[in-house]
Amino acid sequence: MKHALLVGCGTGKGALITDALLDNGYQVTNIGSSGHPNANNIIVDWANVDIPFIHKNCQFDNSIDFVFFNQNSSSLRQENFNLSQSDNLTSWRLIKDWSNSLWLSCQLPFLLLHTVKNNLHQGSAVGWMLSGYMKYNKAGNAQHADYSSFKYFNYLQMQCFDQENEFKTFGIYPDFSADSSSEKLYNVIVEVLSCTDKHKEYHV
C-alpha cells in the first residue's frame, strides 16, 4: 500500500485531497488541527507545533509516496503598517505572531521534508498549495503581506527541492470562487498520482 503525508487536509477543501488519495488506495497520515474520519490523524494545536514536535511525531517506518502542504497562517493586515496607530506592545506581539506564521507556513515544510528524507524516493510526489497573491501585481496582495510573501517563498522552495532532489514536485493555484473548484481539485490530485513529469503546476 502506498502512503501519503498531508498537512492541513482534515476538513474543507483539504479533505478533498485526502478523499482523492483514499479513493486511490493510499494510506493517509494527516497533520492538522482537525482530523479526517478515514485518515490517520496527528491532531495539533498549531501554537504548540515546534521543532521537537516534528522530530518526535514525524518518524515513519514506511516509504512516503505523496506529500502535500495545505496549511496557512497569516498575522499581518495592511493597517498594521500605519505608524500613527501603533504602540510598542502591539508591535512586539505582531512580531511574535508573524514569526510563528513564518514558521508554520514556510519553515515547517522545509524541516518536515528534511525529517522524512529517507522515506522519500524517486517516484514520490511533493506538493504545495500556492496562491495567485504571490504575484507582485496581484490586486489585494498587500492586504495580508505576510501571506503573500509566504506563498512566494513556498513557490521558491518547491523549485529548489525539485532541482536538488530526484522526487517529483508540483504546485496548485486554487480559485475557490469557481463553482467547479472542488471537482477540479480532486481531479488534479488523481492526475498527480499518475503523472510522470518531474515538475508540474496546476490551476483549479
Mean pLDDT of 109-123: 98
In angstroms, rounded to a whole number, what is the distance separating the alpha carbons of residues 44 and 47?
8
> Smallest Cα–Cα separation from 102: which of 79, 71, 124?
71
Instruction: State yes or no: pLDDT of 95 exceeds 90.
Output: yes
Confidence class of residue 139 from pLDDT cuts 50, 70 and 90?
A: confident
Please, what are the domains in the chain?
2-203 (3.40.50.720)
Exposure class string for 17-31: b at 16+ Cβ within 10 A, else e: bbbbbeeeebebbbb
Q: Is 139 helix (H, G, I), strand (E, B) or coil?
A: coil
The whole model's pTM is what? Answer: 0.95
- What is the rounded CA–CA span in Å between residue 3 and residue 87? 48
CA 195 to each of CA 101, 167, 170, 192: distance values in angstroms, whole numbers, following the listed order: 32, 12, 10, 5
Q: Average of pLDDT values for 172-188?
A: 88
SS3 43: strand
Q: What is the pLDDT of residues 67-78, one digit of tens each?
A: 999 998 999 999
CA atoms within 13 A on the CB side of 133: 18
What is the pLDDT at residue 140?
A: 82
Q: How confident is the model at residue 153 (pLDDT cuts 50, 70, 90)?
A: very high
